[in-house]
Structure 1
Amino acid sequence: MSPNPWWQDRVVYQIYPRSFCDSDGDGIGDLRGITSKLDHLQALGVGVVWLSPIYRSPNDDNGYDISDYREIMPEFGTMADFDEMLAAMHARGLRLVMDLVVNHSSDEHPWFQAARTSRDHPLHDHYIWREPGPDGAPPTNWEAAFNGSAWEWNEPTGEYYLHMFSRKQPDLNWENPALRQEIWALMRFWLDKGVDGFRMDVINMISKPWRADGSLPDAPVVREGFLQPAFAMVCNGPRLGEFLQEMRREVLDHHDTLTVGEAPLATIAQGIELTHARGGALDMLFQFEHMDLDSVGGHVNGKWALKPLDLRDLKQTMNRWQQALHGQGWNSLYLSNHDQPRPVSRFGDDGRWRVESAKMLATWLHLHQGTPYVYQGEELGMGNVAFDDIHDYRDIETLNHHRVATTERGQDPAEVMASIHAKGRDNARTPMPWSAGPKAGFTTGEPWLRLHPDHDSVNAQRARADPDSVFHHYRRLIELRRQHPIIVHGRFDLVLAEHPLIYAWTRTLGDERWLVACNFSGDTPVFECPAELAGREARLVIGNLRAGAGERVDDLQALVLRPWEAVVLRLLD
């Protein structure tokens, strides 16, 4: 990695193709739809697009179950459409990062279709197979992320195959060198087409914790009725670093790429090891610590067991990663993506203070050290949806959770729906609202998923026309990043660690120092100025409620933050 890679001062924008823009009226977003809206991204100022999977897929998990890694899903278009889209991105100075989903494939992939026919087939070892246990039971007690056993019976070979997610997503066997060569080849295929990098889906699950006899351990019981989640058993396995270093030698070292690995349960030590500027296999990770803070028991109970966020927990988690990776690795910064609910509903106030809290959260995100990721619609301040009928949802995780929770565990259906309204993945997947017109300008047909009910007022056309919108606040933050190296390279230091409402920190680069203060509430707390900053004067760099840059703040001790206010101040000598 070079000392200052091209991507460090860029902001990444994630597109979920199915929900971005439909060009042909079938109700499903597509590649030509993306191409038609690139001016929106150029106006926002982002430098990189991360595209969720567009490969051929049966769509059991909306494209994260891939049946052909070198073909485009027909409902998204053709390879010619892809080439046109990529050329249009590059012409606008946008780089493209593709989703690399190689922990598992679809069970309809030709590899698996052949592998399941015979134990002697040359492709059998591309997947993970084990003999049944006593009385034909699965080899371990692992439960898949989408409910049910992580093992599925295969009659032709008399074995179980492992799937950490849906039964239609069999895990690939990275212990097999021939499988790894197939993966290196498909990566080269896309890089040779001009792609600029990869976001690697659950990449830290690829090394399984094999015992010496080839078996896998059972998940421990963490408390009555609850097992350690199966994915926790396979994250950060013993050969993860080895496999990723081989990927770097074989593929990535020969291209100038951006790589980000999705890494549930990654530790800070692993974050440094995998992203270190000298010797790290990846450029950055998506870690999940801050995403588990509003669930009871974090990953043990799963995301559906809700609790309010304690801001002090968020400070502690972010501070640990900011301090540890400074000069040692690189952080990715995100509050939302295709798997997470909308941040303005989750961490802000999507009612009276929707605009203000959306801008505050944007400021909070972009002023940490690392690469910010903006998920489509986040720049509009889109909120969650609350469909009354479970049949209006499309996400496999949501539907399986509702079925298991209500029919097998006897939970109150109203409570189950409340958790889905708060944490369901379809919150992020409602179609992008481009205008207040029919079907929100997303399609001329029937959308594959219901539109957000507020699309008449929250849409891109209206946001871009309003200079005080959430969109333009994001645009200004992204522009600041390109103008001020302190945002990219400055040291992060937390202040007011125990304040329950204000999240504040300084950024320092050489003799320059900035103070950021964000009010995570509808109250008006006073900024309790630390002694080290007392008496300092400051000038406003950007704020979500204050008129403009350059406003002078003469007394930080008298600074009162209005509801959901964020201020970025340059401290004067």
Structure 2
Amino acid sequence: MSGNNTEWWRNSVIYQIYPRSFCDANGDGIGDLAGITSKLDYVKSLGVDAIWISPFFKSPMADFGYDVADYRDVDPIFGNLQDFDNLIEAAHQRGLKVIIDQILSHSSDQHPWFEESRSSRDNPRADWYVWADPRPDGSVPNNWMSNFGGSAWRWCTRRRQYYLTNFLKEQPDLNLHNPEVQEQLLADLKFWLERGVDGFRLDAINHAFHNRSLQDNPARPLELDENGLPPVNTYQYQWHIHDKSQPENLVFLQRVRQLLDQYPDTVTVGEVGDDNTHKVMADYTTENRLHMAYSFDLLSEECSAEFLRETLGKNQQVIEEGWPCWSISNHDVPRPMTRWNKGFDPEQAAARVPMFLLTQLTLRGSVCLYQGEELGLEEADIAFEDLVDPYGINLWPEFKGRDGCRTPMPWVNGGEANAGFSPVKPWLPVPDEHYHKAASLQEDDSASMLNRFRALLQWHREWPGLATAEQEIVDTGNDLLVFYRRTETEEFLVAANFGHQADTLELPAGFAEARDITPAGFAGKVTGGTAALPVAGARVLYRKKTGSGQ
């Protein structure tokens, strides 16, 4: 197959589904593929372009699917391959693209490849993972740290060597320096492309290669917390120069792109977390590598206008023809309703959530939304005895892990158990405060968060010029985030108040008489040459460029 990519993904809106927590169709307390299929009409009604499904592959679930034991099969808790084929068909019938997670940097320690690799030093897959001898004193090969804290090395008694684990000890790192490993992973991608997937979200893709010298990472100056204490996670104690983002990865990503180019209209979006995020995003989304990438910058605790200006400005300086995908929430971080609303009263917090989405939709790039964001769900406070995330259990109580954003979707609040997610006790509890935000309660309320999201996504479709417009961030020096989007014929001015106080913006020349195209529901008004913006207020102004002939 061959053909030109229509680049549908530029300016697209992707809806992330965490299958364990979306909808339980078979009544075992865990969401599944059939449950996703049953809710596709709801997903379509949001106005999104595609869904991204987190891992559903066969797995021992040490990291809830991100430890893959078979790259070509569905774990029985989620269904089977026929269920997946049914989902693909149903999504495509509704005009929805389907993107699936792929974990190319590591597998499960129960994958047959690893079981063979660790059996000896001379078996056919002995070099499929990253193995290293101990130092003369028996200690680990170098100072590399796991993302989840502690050494990135685990001892294997059979080989009397250490193996590399950038995440959990149950997730050994694949050795992509081995050409056989690359060929196998590309073949596994092709397996899913042949089944009709429209693309891949590549998990932690800049971890795919390591520096074969195994050189120590340099120490990083520690940022102390408000109590004067160093970080809880030892991963933050060093600059990650040698354990990820290696140059060999760029060549491999070109091979991935060559494969996808054989399947028209398919896409890759890479998860990139790095000390030099913007440079890595730029490198990974140019020269026929990834189509787009997202980083952890907007998944941070910080969301001031100053922080956003700095982050967006850095990205703009280096990414050039590359393409970002902006995400402010996912299955790994606290929900923005809680994380980005510290210090705001409940009414202001609820008003700020649509402002966050409007900002995403008007930035240069694509948008990724996480399930439940459209309902305005808060981060759940999970009791220690209910935690299942090993990340949180290991670092409790200073870090509570990722369970708080992974609780089940609340579908109904009409007396049904577990808000309609499952008829039995779910794998994580449905928080009491989520019941009154159930989708069924919000459906018929035109002012609900759910319907605000739908209206915003519809508005987004009505302004296709935003898809390719260039961007310029304005340094206002205050709590207003202001930026231009420009094409050859039209110009947009976006302003949003991220602060705790009302503010005003003196409009630049040419915009005093511009058309106000702000979506309904946002406080603020334009009078003469001034835009008044209360807390969570926003304005989007539009004008044709002089001499455009339109």
TM-score normalised according to structure 1 size: 0.87
Return the match for 1:517 from 489, 495, 498.
Answer: 495
Which one is further off, 261-270 or 151-160?
261-270
Matched-pair identity in %: 37
Q: Which residue in 2 is equivalent to 1:263? A: 272
Cα contact 1:142–1:230 (8 A) shared by 2:
no
CA distance in structure 1 between the aligned counterparts of 2:306 and 2:278, rounded to whole angstroms: 19
Return the match for 1:43 from 18, 42, 45.
Answer: 45
Q: Which residue in 2 is equivalent to 1:244? A: 253
**TM-superposition CA deviations, 1:294-347 (whole Å, max 9, x none):** 4xxxxxxxxxxxxx6543022111123235435x11110110011121112112
Q: CA 1:554/1:506 → structure 2, altered by over 3 Å: closer, same or farther?
A: same
Q: CA 1:467/1:454 → structure 2, altered by over 3 Å: closer, same or farther?
A: same
Cα contact 2:408–2:426 (8 A) shared by 1:
yes
In structure 1, the residue corresponding to 2:374 is in which secondary structure? helix
Q: Which amino acid aligns with 1:281?
A: R
Return the match for 1:435 from 412, 432, 438.
Answer: 412
1:316 and 2:310 are equivalent in the alignment: yes
Deviation at 1:209, TM superposition (A): 1.3
Q: CA 1:10/1:221 → structure 2, altered by over 3 Å: closer, same or farther?
A: closer
**TM-superposition CA deviations, 1:524-552 (whole Å, max 9, x none):** 2222x1543564443233143359xxxx8
Q: Which amino acid aligns with 1:217?
A: Q
CA distance in structure 2 between the aligned counterparts of 1:71 and 1:44, rounded to whole angstroms: 30
Q: CA 1:325/1:138 → structure 2, altered by over 3 Å: closer, same or farther?
A: closer
**TM-superposition CA deviations, 1:86-143 (whole Å, max 9, x none):** 1100110111111010100000000001111111110111101011112211111222
Q: Which residue in 2 is equivalent to 1:553? A: 526
Which one is further off, 317-326 or 53-62?
317-326
Q: Which residue in 2 is equivalent to 1:544? A: 521
**TM-superposition CA deviations, 1:261-293 (whole Å, max 9, x none):** 1111154343333223xx32110111223334x
**TM-superposition CA deviations, 1:446-500 (whole Å, max 9, x none):** 011111221222121122221122222222222233322222111212224311x
Q: Which residue in 1 is equivalent to 2:227? A: none
Deviation at 1:432, TM superposition (A): 0.6
Return the match for 1:334 from 305, 323, 327.
Answer: 327
Q: Which residue in 1 is equivalent to 2:225? A: none
Q: CA 1:9/1:323 → structure 2, altered by over 3 Å: closer, same or farther?
A: same
CA distance in structure 2 between the aligned counterparts of 1:169 and 1:314, rounded to whole angstroms: 34
Cα contact 1:357–1:564 (8 A) shared by 2:
yes
Q: Provide structure 1 residue ranges, at least 5 long, that are not aligned to the other structure.
A: 295-307, 403-412
Q: Which residue in 2 is equivalent to 1:287? A: 295
Q: Which residue in 2 is equivalent to 1:564? A: 536
In structure 2, the residue corresponding to 1:254 is in which secondary structure? coil
Q: CA 1:166/1:350 → structure 2, altered by over 3 Å: closer, same or farther?
A: farther
In structure 2, the residue corresponding to 1:222 is in which secondary structure? coil
Q: CA 1:210/1:539 → structure 2, altered by over 3 Å: closer, same or farther?
A: same
Q: CA 1:93/1:254 → structure 2, altered by over 3 Å: closer, same or farther?
A: same
CA distance in structure 2 between the aligned counterparts of 1:539 and 1:11, rounded to whole angstroms: 23
1:375 and 2:385 are equivalent in the alignment: no
CA distance in structure 2 between the aligned counterparts of 1:232 and 1:355, rounded to whole angstroms: 40
Cα contact 2:219–2:239 (8 A) shared by 1:
no
CA distance in structure 1 between the aligned counterparts of 2:237 and 2:509, rounded to whole angstroms: 45
Question: Relative to total residues, which structure has the larger helix share, 1 or 2?
Answer: 1
Return the match for 1:234 from 243, 248, 253.
Answer: 243
Cα contact 1:435–1:455 (8 A) shared by 2:
no
Return the match for 1:137 from 125, 136, 139.
Answer: 139
Q: Which amino acid aligns with 2:170?
A: K
> Within 5 Å, which residues of 2 pair with 1:55-134?
55-134=57-136
1:366 and 2:361 are equivalent in the alignment: yes
Deviation at 1:80, TM superposition (A): 1.2
Q: Provide structure 2 residue ranges, at least 5 long, that are not aligned to the other structure.
A: 223-229
Cα contact 1:434–1:440 (8 A) shared by 2:
yes
Q: CA 1:390/1:45 → structure 2, altered by over 3 Å: closer, same or farther?
A: same
Cα contact 2:281–2:294 (8 A) shared by 1:
no
Cα contact 1:199–1:259 (8 A) shared by 2:
yes
> Within 5 Å, which residues of 2 pair with 1:89-488?
89-211=91-213, 216-223=214-221, 228-229=237-238, 233-249=242-258, 251-256=259-264, 257-265=266-274, 266-276=276-286, 279-292=287-300, 294=301, 309-322=303-316, 324-326=318-320, 328-348=321-341, 349=344, 351-387=346-382, 389-402=383-396, 413=397, 416=398, 419-420=399-400, 424-437=401-414, 438-488=417-467
Q: Which amino acid aligns with 2:392?
A: T
Cα contact 1:145–1:230 (8 A) shared by 2:
no
Cα contact 1:544–1:565 (8 A) shared by 2:
no
Q: CA 1:335/1:232 → structure 2, altered by over 3 Å: closer, same or farther?
A: farther
In structure 1, the residue corresponding to 2:477 is in which secondary structure? coil
Q: CA 1:311/1:232 → structure 2, altered by over 3 Å: closer, same or farther?
A: farther
Q: Which residue in 2 is equivalent to 1:299? A: none
Deviation at 1:510, TM superposition (A): 2.5
CA distance in structure 2 between the aligned counterparts of 1:230 and 1:181, rounded to whole angstroms: 31
**TM-superposition CA deviations, 1:239-267 (whole Å, max 9, x none):** 11111112223x22211211011111154
In structure 2, the residue corresponding to 1:493 is in which secondary structure? strand
In structure 1, the residue corresponding to 2:503 is in which secondary structure? coil
CA distance in structure 2 between the aligned counterparts of 1:456 and 1:248, rounded to whole angstroms: 43
Cα contact 2:375–2:438 (8 A) shared by 1:
yes
In structure 2, the residue corresponding to 1:103 is in which secondary structure? coil
Q: Which amino acid aligns with 2:246?
A: G
Which one is further off, 484-493 or 1-10?
1-10
CA distance in structure 2 between the aligned counterparts of 1:231 and 1:459, rounded to whole angstroms: 42
1:491 and 2:470 are equivalent in the alignment: yes
Deviation at 1:521, TM superposition (A): 3.2
CA distance in structure 2 between the aligned counterparts of 1:136 and 1:230, rounded to whole angstroms: 25
Q: Which amino acid aligns with 2:453?
A: Y
1:29 and 2:28 are equivalent in the alignment: no
CA distance in structure 2 between the aligned counterparts of 1:281 and 1:288, rounded to whole angstroms: 20
Q: Which amino acid aligns with 2:313?
A: N
**TM-superposition CA deviations, 1:204-227 (whole Å, max 9, x none):** 11121122xxxx012323348867
Which one is further off, 218-227 or 453-462?
218-227
CA distance in structure 1 between the aligned counterparts of 2:172 and 2:373, rounded to whole angstroms: 33
Q: Which amino acid aligns with 1:455?
A: H
